[in-house]
């Protein structure tokens, strides 16, 4: 029987970003509530382990890691930039976010489960190798990709990023690495200002800009025309997802018009591609999504689909 893993931990709630910050602990509380209903009893619920600094250093240099950790205060908050904040609980939250995705790689690659969803924070896809930014400290999904590449000697890893913001950090980590395909759909013009179609790396970067007010049907067509064919051509041995749900029509940080069913469809199509090329192996890690009811409903649609593997 195929299994879906679900990673969480109370430490994620202790990464305190301050009053009114969109990337807050209430996001995970909303997700936990949505996934507490009987239809999710099939999830294998796991406590996210503490990752290691060695795992973080697969993407981020030692000096940078030490700089981030040294910025974490004993009391109150510290601003790494205008919107990236650390608090006393941030170190363990960041370590468990990395630990969750790396443990998921181990379990998926050893056939203990088919796919996984990691309900983690802080998110990661804006974190560049030498720069924390955009609510992100370390690039969880990039670390997972490099961990899988080195520990399981994979030659082709695909990352699909459907967060409404471009994953500049993930792109930067693998811009010259042909063994990792990075495909992103994201609103433009929008933060962080990267993600033009002309940014192609060594042919391994696929950027699909979305416009203000773009509909779910239009987004689906772009995936059908551009991203799905690229994935089939690449034939990944492992599929990773930067699962941001802020392209939802109700999200305060975007203007695209996706609904829960678009995330369900996208998940289903990615699962079909993974079934074709990598024995269904998918690891999904939470990125954005800042309207609590929309986030909860969208994650529920995503995870419910993963459960139907």
Average of per-residue pLDDT across 284-289: 99
Predicted confidence (pLDDT) per residue in 222-241, tens digit: 999 999 999 999 999 999 99
Radius of gyration of the chain (CA): 17
**Structural contact between residues 273 and 265, judged by C-beta atoms closer than 8 angstroms:** no
% of the chain surpassing 90 pLDDT: 99
Confidence at residue 1, expressed as pLDDT on a 0 to 100 scale: 58
Confidence at residue 69, expressed as pLDDT on a 0 to 100 scale: 98
**How many degrees, rounded to 5, is the angle at CA 138 between CA 132 and CA 139?**
110
Confidence at residue 309, expressed as pLDDT on a 0 to 100 scale: 74
**Dihedral pair phi/psi, residue 228, rounded to 5°:** -60, -45
Q: The domain containing residue 27 runs over which residues?
A: 4-307
Flag whether the pTM goes above 0.85.
yes
36 CB burial (10 A radius; 0-12, 13-18, 19+)? exposed
Predicted confidence (pLDDT) per residue in 185-215, tens digit: 999 999 999 999 999 999 999 999 999 999 9
Please tell me which residue in 15, 60, 126, 166 is annotated as part of the active site. 126
Confidence at residue 192, expressed as pLDDT on a 0 to 100 scale: 98
Distance in angstroms (rounded) separating the CA atoms of residues 75 and 68: 16
Distance in angstroms (rounded) separating the CA atoms of residues 117 and 8: 9
**Dihedral pair phi/psi, residue 159, rounded to 5°:** -120, 125
All residues at 6 or more sequence positions from 18 whose CB lies less than 8 Å from its CB, including other chains:
77, 85, 87
Confidence at residue 175, expressed as pLDDT on a 0 to 100 scale: 98
Kindly state the greatest CA–CA separation across the chain. Answer: 50
Average of per-residue pLDDT across 265-277: 98
- Where does the pLDDT of residue 2 fall: very low under 50, low under 70, confident under 90, or very high at 90 and above? confident
Predicted confidence (pLDDT) per residue in 113-160, tens digit: 999 999 999 999 999 999 999 999 999 999 999 999 999 999 999 999
Mean pLDDT for all residues in the chain: 98
Predicted confidence (pLDDT) per residue in 11-54, tens digit: 999 999 999 999 999 999 999 999 999 999 999 999 999 999 99
How many domains are contained in the chain?
1
**Structural contact between residues 161 and 154, judged by C-beta atoms closer than 8 angstroms:** no
DSSP-derived pairing of the beta strands 180-187 and 4-8: unpaired
**Structural contact between residues 107 and 281, judged by C-beta atoms closer than 8 angstroms:** no
Write out the two tokens for 283. Answer: 């690891």
The CATH number that applies at residue 84 is 3.40.800.20
Whether 300 has a pLDDT exceeding 80, the answer reads yes
Tell me if residue 126 is catalytic: yes
């Amino acid at each position: 029987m195929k299994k879906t893993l679900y990673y969480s931990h109370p430490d994620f709630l202790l990464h305190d970003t301050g009053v009114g910050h969109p990337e807050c602990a209430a996001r995970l509380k909303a997700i936990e509530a949505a996934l507490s209903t009987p239809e999710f009893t099939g999830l294998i619920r796991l406590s996210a382990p503490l990752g290691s600094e060695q795992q973080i250093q697969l993407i981020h240099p030692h000096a940078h890691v030490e700089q981030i950790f040294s910025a974490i205060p004993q009391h109150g908050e510290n601003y790494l930039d205008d919107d990236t904040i650390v608090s006393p609980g941030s170190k363990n939250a960041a370590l468990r976010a990395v630990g969750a995705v790396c443990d998921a790689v181990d379990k998926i690659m050893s056939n203990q489960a088919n796919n996984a969803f990691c309900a983690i924070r802080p998110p990661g896809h804006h974190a560049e190798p030498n720069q924390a930014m955009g609510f992100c400290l370390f690039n969880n999904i990039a670390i997972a990709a490099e961990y899988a590449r080195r520990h399981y000697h994979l030659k082709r890893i695909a990352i699909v990023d459907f967060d409404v913001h471009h994953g500049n950090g993930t792109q930067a980590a693998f811009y010259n690495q042909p063994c990792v395909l990075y495909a992103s759909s994201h609103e433009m013009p929008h933060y962080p200002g990267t993600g033009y179609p002309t940014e192609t790396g060594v042919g391994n970067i696929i950027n699909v800009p979305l416009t203000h007010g773009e509909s779910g049907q239009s987004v689906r067509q772009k995936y059908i025309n551009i991203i799905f064919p690229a994935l089939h051509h690449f034939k990944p041995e492992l599929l990773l997802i930067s699962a941001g749900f802020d392209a939802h029509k109700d999200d305060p940080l975007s203007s695209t018009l996706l609904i829960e069913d678009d995330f369900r469809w996208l998940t289903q199509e990615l699962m079909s591609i993974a079934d074709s090329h990598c024995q269904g192996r998918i690891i999904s890690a939470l990125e954005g999504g800042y309207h609590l009811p929309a986030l909860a409903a969208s994650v529920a649609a995503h995870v419910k689909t993963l459960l139907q593997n």
